[in-house]
Amino acid sequence: MKRWPWYIAALSLIAVLNLLPFSGTDVAQLKPVEVLWIYQTEDGVVIETDTLDRGIGSDPEDAFDNLMQTTSGHVFLETADYLLLDRQTLALLPHLMGRLRPACGVCIAEGQIDMEQVASFLNAHPLKHTLQDCSEGNAPIQLLKAEEGRMYLVS
């Protein structure tokens, strides 16, 4: 007889938990990014990833928003190991500190970069300086050149 309050409390708890909206992210929809390439065109700022997703905007914030909205799934920028910039987007380095990991390697990219192959290349040829080093102005930024289907780093 004295146990019926416990049964009612347990049933109430189960009912409440079933009514609460639990939102999660399906793991299959996560798109971990290893390389980000940010460059300027006449259309504005373009952000490309090694997952072949792309965002375009008038400024970096618009480009990031466009990247997030147009990608099927959830782009996971916290996993980015490498950041490629062109010479016109170098001024964005301090602004990217809040978006990317400070330990993300940075280089200037010239030429047509093969986004499917660049992560393998950079894993085999590590960059010398990180986003934090470069945004503080303490380090020279390496140059990644792509010519005739080949990539190489220039210190």
Q: 61-92 pLDDT, tens per residue?
A: 899 999 999 988 888 888 899 999 998 888 88
Closest CA to 32 of 89, 74, 64, 94: 74
> What percent of the chain is predicted at pLDDT more than 70?
90
Q: Coil, helix or strand for 131?
A: helix
Contact 103, 127 (CB under 8 A): no
Residue 47: pLDDT band (50, 70, 90) is very high
Return mean pLDDT, the chain: 85
Round to whole Å and give the CA distance between 87 and 112.
Answer: 14
Q: Over the stretch 9-37, which tens digit does the pLDDT of each residue have?
A: 777 777 666 666 656 656 667 788 999 99
pLDDT at 77: 86
